[in-house]
Chains A and B, each alone.
Chain A
Amino acid sequence: MADVVATHETIVVVGGGISGMTAAVEAAETGKNVVLIERAPSLGGRVSQLYKYFPKLCHPTCGMEINLRRLRGNKRIKVLTLAEVTKIEGRAGDYRISVTAHPRYVNENCTACGACGEAVSAQIPNPFDYGMSTMKAAYLPSLMAYPQRYVIDPSIIGTPDAERAQAACKYGAVDLDMATETFTLTAGAVVWATGWRPYDAGKIQPYGYDRFANVITSVEFERLSDPRGPTGGRILRPSDGKEAKNVAFIQCAGSRDRNHLKHCSRICCMASLKQTTYVRERFGDDAQSTIYYIDIRAIDRFEDFYQKVQADSTVRFVKSKVANITEDEASGDVILHGVDTEGYHRYDNRHDLCVLAVGMEPSVDIRTVADVAVDASGFIEMGSTNGGIFGAGCASNALDVNRSVQSATASVLRAVQVVNRVAKAEG
């Protein structure tokens, strides 16, 4: 990675999801040099795994296409994938950032022609589909992958499969001797945009995510609904592949709960409202969606979307935190038990599938890397002691896409202030 030139006027962006990509292009288009570091083999982050965005029901790949075009066309951005920041030392205007880069086993000669993928036989779980599908161990992470280069999974290194991949490549792009590299970058400021991860639904014992096949998470449901996903968007439930027409959505699965996440994750109400439209889109009038909620938090203009979904006769709302779920072993159906607190109605409702609207928690604990203030949930707090390290997007709070982008853009200005001060001092 000796080719990465970084100075005290460089802004390092950590995380290549929507927030990090935004931060990188916004900074570069303001004339700053940027190094964008992503842990996965491709940029895109969690939003690229969503089928649609609320409230417009548009596709995340659409904005990603624009951002990738901006990124490709900008020489000020250097992208490092399969790389992780392990330590940040120094102070605003003078950071030393330790990076570990993992081998892709494919170099920049790759044309994404797909020959290596055809040559290998090993199948591995596909993280893009949250493990609900498998893929070849030589793979392009997604159709929108950037860099548009294949990856050889480390699990086949040293096996004949890897040799086959290498032999299949006419362009000398497969390099099985690649090794983990560690190096240090210089930077003036850091935008930390490592995003979120879904709360571990298995910890919510009464819902049986770890026991019942047809209890899944909201992020998994995105993949089931996506035509590019493991079921071709047909919304087939995991236990028996039956069409899941009658779907329950449980809000605050982990959020607003002193036993789990004490904060409200902000996006989940809108996400479930959106997901009812997937069921509607797929099954028409045969669809049945039920949202079990405490408060529907469709703030500001999102209220329109809530009213639209309320008007859909296939969607029911039950004010209730579901008490527990049982499984009808014969059919695989899930039965939700609880009380609708609007007027006290007890229910035992049978559904084909139950989707847990899981909460958000920061995907990385930044304190292991840098001395930065975080709140009780682990989100980066703005503070004078953070120096030139700025949280952006869901590393800083539970935010939706729009607000993540807003947050990333704001963080860029804070970073620009630091590097402009450095530039002035350096003359």
Chain B
Amino acid sequence: MTDMKIGAYVCQGCGLGERLDTKALTMVAQKEGKAHVVREHEFLCNSQGVAMIQKDIDEGVNRVVIGACSRRAKAEAFTFENVAVARVNLREQVIWSQPPTDEARELTQEMAADYIRMGCAEAKKIVAPTPNAAHGTNKRILVVGGGVTGMTAALESARAGYEVLLVEKAPALGGYMASLYKRVPSREPFADPQPTDIEALVAAVSKDPKITVHLNSRTTRTSGAPGQFSVDITAESGPTRTENVGAIVMATGFTPYDASRLPEFGYGKSPNILDQAGLEALARSAAAKGEPMRRPSDGKEVQSVAFIQCAGQRDASGTHLKYCSGHCCNTSMKQAMYFKAQNPNIDTAIIYTDLRTPGNGEDFYRSAQTKGVIFTKGKVQSVAVNGDGSASVHFHDLILDDKAAVMKDVDLVVLATGQVPNSGVNIDIPPDATDVPVTEAGKVQSVSVLNLTYRQGPDVPQLKYGFTDSHFICFPYETRRTGIYTAGPVRRPMDITQAVEDATGAALKAIQAVENAGLGRAAHPRSGDLSFPTFRREGCTQCKRCTVECPFGAIDEDEQRYPQFNEGRCRRCGTCMGACPVRVISFENYSVDSVGSQIKAVDVPDEFSEKPRILLLACENDAYPALDMAGVSGHTSSAFVRTIPVRCLGSVNMIWITDALNSGYDGVMLMGCKHGDDYQCHFVKGSELASYRMSKIDDTLQNLNLEKDRVRVLEVAISDIARVPQFINEYAEKIQEIGMSPFKGF
């Protein structure tokens, strides 16, 4: 290891030169920050400025402190190969956050000097990360599920040149789609049901040399990390083989909601009351025999059919599925067209409350009407089964406001039930829990899909109602298991067209995961980050907090019950670092020490100075950009605040807070993303964990004999540009009110 040589550079551009004594700042860097080289530059981000820094690096500088604009600006200019860079935000969060007055000059300069001290302190504690040597290089993709989603994912991956393993539990490929008579059209003119063409898809998958298919098989054990998963594939009454893969696409589809839960609609009371799957089977068998569709009860040719939409769906009462499955309106129209194609005189009526045919589905809706399918806006109350096998549908006609409307003696009733995802075990529900709602699908499914050996449970965490969707609107593929992507109706209720698109997207993410794993780089949202957590084994007390709290299930336990970091699964949020009570977990460029040193580097004036110091730990994803933009927008805030960006509030270690309070800070603020149901935290649980941990801070404050208000946790959004400085100022006033900390000068 070569000697540490710090170069500190202070920019004079963008008004920094006028507002600050940059010479004095370089002196601070030199004397207090122990920088070996210090320089001012009138325009540091231009090519000469950058060249100047690069020249110093070439001559031995290996840590760089840039006192200029925010790390969010000019990132391209201030990135240097293999050199750790500490950005000191003198522009957005010092001169732009302070009034440009003579009176404010002294405090502004003090602020800048502190930030320079902090930058130098950070630079000493970080190194440019190098990729983990233990990264995996397997580029094979495992697809679990051989329906249209799985087959599409397999085929699209193979077309990009990747080997694929496809595991299907049934004896044949095809999945639910293979049970359909026809599908909803995917192309203009969106007028008629079209063949599923599933045979062609099965054939393409079967003959693709890059795809190996395992039928009658399940994934009975999955361990490892992106680039190096190890998977046991067990054939039914057959051998188990272990395969290595780089990433996984989980496309296990859905199961139709159990219609026997809908006795009020007559299901089970007559064979002439079917769900949509039952109608597909009827249509297929009739077509196979070349016969018209007949009533199951007595073989009478069907003359009339009623379709009941939202059967056991959109149910706010909680008895049935609360959500809408999205495809069912189109599916019922398609099925009504089966009958119209058989005989245009067959009465087909669809009873709906909101007809949901978005996009080009509107063409299909019009086509159904053209064919004479009748649409009735109404709420079905009950279905009565008559002695002759027919049924009468009682409903509230919402247009004619007739609460006693009846569709009498129809031959068939089709219930449009919803999709229940085949997502395996809900790892968030304890195995012994009672009273689990059916819609959560947790209790319903006790068989694991992936059988992950992960410490946190055998399947992918579920978001809601059993779906393994991402909670992020901008990032639909972010499951909480790195390198495992879910696609199709297991992720979210969807139709075939969307499932095909979804499968293709998930395949890209899987390919991306193996490519990045091969380079030892992190996946979203810290894409490309080469740092990864390491821990000091000697210091570990095996408390397991890191393994339990990691939002991504990246940490297992080894045989000796020490944490086992799977770097490939890690998203580099630092939640483990924040959790560790003995502070043994760190990243090369982000550690308890690298932040702790910054906290200690701040010059804390004595209690008679009337200059309090407030530490602000701000999430770099939302709060920190909001602070930057507050500066750009000309909002001023207290000059007594010293801000340190953190990767996530989840990475905040309690020691930072106690250290800050012990060393005389008057208050500590934490700004992170929203948590709860509509959480905003990019690391899913970071802000929630932080808020939980901070709820226990009162004890610490009590032990230190400090007021409760010495620590404040705030939820902010990136758009809180005007509010963030307001929060700061309010807190600064509060601190003035409760007075200076008694811990100064110790």
Contacts and interface: CB of A to CB of B under 8 A. Distances in A.
Contact of B504 (A67, A265, A302, A413): A413
Contacts of B160: 413, 416-417, 420
B323 A29 contact: no
Contacts of B475: 63, 66, 405
B361 A264 contact: yes
B632 A143 contact: yes
Which of the listed residues A72, A143, A319, A399 has the most CB atoms from chain B within 10 Å of its own CB? A143
Interface stretch (A105-113, A123-131, A156-164): A105-113
Interface stretch (A203-211, A291-299, A362-370): A291-299
Given A30-B508, A413-B505, A301 B188 contact: no
Contacts of A226: 719
B217 interface: no
B447 interface: no
Which of the listed residues B324, B473, B475 has the most CB atoms from chain A within 10 Å of its own CB? B473
A129 to B, nearest CB: 15
B621 A62 contact: yes
What size tier do the contact residues of chain B reach? 35 or more
B511 A410 contact: no
Contacts of A51: 719
B477 A409 contact: yes
A242 interface: no
Contacts of B632: 112, 143
Given A65-B622, A66-B525, A405-B476, A264 B362 contact: yes
B718 interface: yes
A143 B632 CA distance: 8
Interface string B706-725: 00000000000111011000
Contacts of B76: 72
B501 A406 contact: yes
A171 B476 contact: no
Interface in A52-85: 53, 56-67, 69-70, 72-74
Contact of B474 (A256, A296, A405): A405
B224 to A, nearest CB: 21
Contact of B473 (A31, A144, A401, A424): A401
A25 interface: yes
B664 interface: no
B527 A73 contact: yes
Interface in A16-75: 18, 22, 25-26, 29-31, 51, 53, 56-67, 69-70, 72-74
B354 interface: yes
Interface in B295-347: 314, 316, 322-326
Contacts of A265: 358
A296 B354 contact: yes
Contacts of B323: 300-301, 303-304
At the interface, is chain B mostly helix, strand, loop or mixed?
loop
A65 B625 contact: yes
B473 A25 contact: no
Contact of B512 (A26, A59, A65, A342): A26
B508 A413 contact: yes
A346 interface: no
A177 interface: no
B593 interface: no
A343 interface: yes
Contacts of A299: 324, 326, 356, 358, 493
Interface in B248-301: none
A413 B492 contact: no
Interface in A154-177: 170-171
A30 B511 contact: yes
B359 interface: yes
Nearest to B491: A406
A143 B629 contact: yes
B360 interface: yes
B474 A406 contact: no
Which of the listed residues A72, A170, A228, A299 has the most CB atoms from chain B within 10 Å of its own CB? A299
9 contacts: A26-B512, A30-B511, A227-B722, A228-B721, A264-B358, A266-B358, A299-B324, A341-B399, A405-B475
Given A61-B718, A65-B622, 8 more contacts: A29-B515, A62-B622, A65-B625, A143-B629, A227-B719, A266-B358, A406-B498, A410-B504
